[in-house]
């Protein structure tokens, strides 16, 4: 099934890596100032959304949804909801992490929202790849020098981490005590992270 790529306006420096993760048939949604990344990523949007408070309204022959400046959803969250409405199940979010912490955290909540609906979603920035897991297992190859597991609400229970420097077996991580930061995959192995209850943000770190 075709994947939806949502491009927002956070800073991107490593365009080459992000471009290597794109697929030829990706459906591209650009959110407001995410348009500034199109040329470097070598993409043309299929849909543009935004209130255009941070980028000039484009004059492109592309479907464009103009949003009010005063609204509940950010441009990025609106784009995610619109893609769901159009039937997409698989998501890649780019330009969503970095710069303003409030926007970054809001965009992580978009990953949580997608997971709650049973969608597959991955966010990639210059340093890492991140996903939310609840019912599935996250696999981290040893090409990632580090990875972290962050509990995002309440208590995550029955957490098991295999093939890592710091393994866990049926453990739990609370929101108040995040001890799953900066683990390492054993050489030649693929680490596996799973849990029985709750949600974890799994961050695979490419660059220290």
The model's pLDDT over 97-122, given as tens digits with 9 standing for 90+, comes to 988 898 899 899 999 999 999 999 99
Statement to judge: residues 106 and 9 lie in one domain: yes
Q: How far apart are CA 39 and CA 192, in angstroms?
A: 36
Statement to judge: residues 177 and 93 lie in one domain: no
User: Of 73, 96, 126, at which residue does a domain stop?
Assistant: 126
pLDDT more than 90, % of the chain: 78
User: Of 75, 98, 126, at which residue does a domain stop?
Assistant: 126
Q: Which domain holds residue 119?
A: 4-126
Statement to judge: residues 65 and 96 lie in one domain: yes
pLDDT(208) > 70: no
pLDDT band at 54 (very low <50, low <70, confident <90, very high): low
pLDDT band at 194 (very low <50, low <70, confident <90, very high): very high
Statement to judge: residues 11 and 68 lie in one domain: yes
The larger pLDDT score, comparing residue 178 to residue 207, is at 178
Statement to judge: residues 86 and 159 lie in one domain: no
| pLDDT (average), residues 21-45 | 95
pLDDT score at 197: 94
Statement to judge: residues 33 and 112 lie in one domain: yes
Q: What is the mean pLDDT of the chain?
A: 93
Number of domains the chain is built from: 2
pLDDT score at 68: 77
Statement to judge: residues 25 and 87 lie in one domain: yes
| pLDDT (average), residues 116-132 | 96
pLDDT band at 154 (very low <50, low <70, confident <90, very high): confident
Which pair of tokens denotes residue 169?
Answer: 């077996």
Statement to judge: residues 115 and 44 lie in one domain: yes
CATH (domain of 102)? 3.40.50.10240
Taking CA atoms, 103 is separated from 3, 73, 77, in Å, by 23, 11, 10
pLDDT(1) > 80: yes
pLDDT score at 53: 74
Statement to judge: residues 85 and 119 lie in one domain: yes
The single-letter DSSP state of residue 105 is H
The larger pLDDT score, comparing residue 32 to residue 170, is at 170
Contact 29, 6 (CB under 8 A): yes
The larger pLDDT score, comparing residue 78 to residue 68, is at 78
User: Of 91, 126, 161, at which residue does a domain stop?
Assistant: 126
Statement to judge: residues 73 and 164 lie in one domain: no
Statement to judge: residues 23 and 69 lie in one domain: yes
Statement to judge: residues 13 and 116 lie in one domain: yes
pLDDT(58) > 80: no
Cβ neighbour number for residue 129 with a 10 Å cutoff: 19
**Residues with Cβ < 8 Å from 109, sequence gap 6 or more?**
77
Specify the pTM.
0.92
């Amino acid at each position: 099934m075709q994947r939806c790529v949502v491009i927002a306006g956070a800073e991107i420096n490593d365009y080459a890596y992000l471009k290597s993760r794109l697929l030829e048939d990706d459906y591209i949604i650009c959110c407001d100032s995410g348009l500034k990344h199109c040329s470097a990523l070598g993409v043309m949007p299929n849909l543009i959304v935004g209130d255009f408070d941070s980028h000039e309204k484009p004059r492109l022959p592309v479907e464009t949804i103009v949003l009010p400046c005063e609204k509940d959803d950010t441009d990025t969250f609106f784009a995610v909801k619109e893609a769901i409405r159009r039937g997409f199940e698989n998501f890649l979010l780019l330009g969503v992490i970095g710069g303003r912490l409030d926007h970054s955290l809001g965009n992580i909540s978009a990953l949580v929202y997608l997971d709650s609906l049973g969608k597959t979603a991955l966010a990639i920035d210059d340093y890492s790849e991140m996903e939310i897991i609840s019912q599935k297992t996250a696999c981290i190859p040893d090409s990632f020098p580090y990875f972290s597991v962050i509990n995002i609400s309440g208590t995550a229970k029955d957490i098991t981490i295999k093939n890592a420097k710091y393994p866990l077996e049926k453990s739990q991580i609370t929101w108040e005590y995040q001890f799953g930061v900066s683990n390492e995959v054993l050489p030649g192995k693929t680490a596996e992270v799973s849990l029985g209850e709750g949600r974890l943000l799994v961050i695979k770190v490419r660059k220290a």
